[in-house]
Amino acid sequence: MKRDRSLKRWLITVARLTLGGIRNLFRNAWLSIAAMAVMFVALGILFFTVVLNVTTSNAITELSRNLKVSVYLEDDINDEQRFELETALASSPYTADLEYISKDDARARFVENFRDDEALLEGLFLVGDDSLPASYEVSAMSLDDFDRIEAIATEERFEETIESITLGRTDARATIERAASAQAFITSASALAAIIFTVISVLIIFNTIRIAIFTRNEEIRNMKLIGATPWYIRGPFIVEASMYGVISGLLAVLAVYGIIYSIGPNIANQDEFRATFELFTQTSTVLLATIATVVAGIIVGAFSSLLAMRKYLRLKHW
Amino acid sequence: MILLDRVSKVYGKEVSALDRISLHVEQDEFVIIIGSSGAGKSTLLKLLTREEKQTSGKIVIGNIDYDKLKDKEIPYLRRKIGVVFQDFKLLPNKNVFENVAFALEIVGHSSREIKHTVPKVLNVVGLRGKEKRMPAELSGGERQRVSIARAIVRQPKILVADEPTGNLDPRHAWDIIRILEKINRFGTTVLLTTHNQEIVNKLKRRVVTIQDGRIVSDKAHGEYKS
Ligand SMILES: Nc1ncnc2c1ncn2[C@@H]1O[C@H](COP(=O)(O)OP(=O)(O)O)[C@@H](O)[C@H]1O
Ligand SMILES: [Mg+2]
Note the ligand closest to the C-alpha atom of B37.
Answer: 1
Q: Is the pLDDT of residue A35 over 90?
A: no
On whether residue B73 sits in a domain, the answer given is yes
What is the predicted ipTM?
0.86
Kind and range of the H or E run holding B15 = strand B15-25
Cβ–Cβ contact B73 with A under 8 A: yes
Judge whether B190 and B30 are in contact, CB under 8 Å. yes
- The closest alpha carbon to A28, from A212, A249, A204, belongs to A212
Judge whether B168 and B141 are in contact, CB under 8 Å. yes
% residues pLDDT > 70 (chain A) = 90
Residues with CB under 5 A from ligand 2 (ion): B 42
Helix (H, G, I), strand (E, B) or coil at A139: strand
Which tens digits make up the pLDDT trace of A219-278?
A: 888 888 888 888 888 888 898 889 899 999 999 999 999 988 888 777 777 777 888 888
Burial of B149 by CB count in 10 Å (0-12 exposed, 13-18 middle, 19+ buried)?
buried
On whether residue B226 sits in a domain, the answer given is no
Task: Quote the mean pLDDT of chain A.
Answer: 81
On whether residue B199 sits in a domain, the answer given is yes
| Domains held by chain B: number | 1
Name which of B64, B71, B79 is nearest A227 (Cβ-Cβ): B79
Q: Is the pLDDT of residue A318 over 60?
A: no
d(CA A39, CA A202): 8
Q: Give the CA angle between residues A11, A17, A20 to the nearest 5°.
A: 140
> Which site among B74, B100, B111, B159 would you substitute to test the A interface, given the most A Cβ atoms closer than 10 Å to its Cβ?
B74
Which tens digits make up the pLDDT trace of A144-180?
A: 777 777 777 777 777 777 777 777 655 566 777 777 7
d(CA A254, CA A267): 20
| B107 Cβ inside 6 Å of ligand 1 | no
Nearest CA to ligand 1 atom 11: B17
B56-61 and B2-11 as β-strands: parallel, antiparallel, unpaired?
Answer: antiparallel
Helix (H, G, I), strand (E, B) or coil at B87: coil
Task: Quote the mean pLDDT of chain B.
Answer: 91
pLDDT at residue B16, rounded to an integer: 93
Contacts of A287 (CB under 8 A, 6+ apart): none
Which tens digits make up the pLDDT trace of A174-221?
A: 777 777 787 788 888 888 888 888 898 888 888 888 888 888 888 888
Contacts of A306 (CB under 8 A, 6+ apart): A234, A238
On whether residue B150 sits in a domain, the answer given is yes
Query: Could you tell me the sign of the dihedral formed by the alpha carbons of A292, A298, A301, A307, in that order?
Result: negative
Contacts of A161 (CB under 8 A, 6+ apart): A73, A74, A77, A81, A82, A84, A85
Averaged pLDDT, B161-169: 90
Domain that holds residue B95: 2-219
d(CA B133, CA A239): 29
Judge whether B120 and B182 are in contact, CB under 8 Å. no
Q: Is the pLDDT of residue B207 over 90?
A: yes
Averaged pLDDT, A109-120: 73
Kind and range of the H or E run holding B16 = strand B15-25
Domains of chain A (ranges, CATH numbers): 2-62+175-317 (no CATH), 68-168 (3.30.70.3040)
Judge whether A205 and A40 are in contact, CB under 8 Å. no
| Domain CATH number, residue B36 | 3.40.50.300
Contacts of A88 (CB under 8 A, 6+ apart): A152, A155, A158
On whether residue B225 sits in a domain, the answer given is no
- The closest alpha carbon to B23, from B188, B223, B213, belongs to B213
Give, as one character, the DSSP assignment of residue A132. Answer: S
| Closest ligand 1 atom to Cα of B213 | 14
On whether residue B46 sits in a domain, the answer given is yes
On whether residue B51 sits in a domain, the answer given is yes
Which tens digits make up the pLDDT trace of B72-119?
A: 899 999 999 999 998 889 988 899 999 999 999 988 899 999 999 999
Instruction: Please state, as a whole number, how many other Cβ atoms lie within 10 Å of the Cβ of residue A141.
Output: 18
Interface of B with A in 97-116 (CB under 8 A): 102-103, 105-110
Which tens digits make up the pLDDT trace of A82-98?
A: 787 778 777 777 777 88
Q: Specify the pTM.
A: 0.73
CA A200, chain centre distance (Å): 23
On whether residue B81 sits in a domain, the answer given is yes
Record: contact A13-B108, CB cut-off 8 A: yes
Nearest CA to ligand 1 atom 4: B11
Nearest CA to ligand 1 atom 1: B11
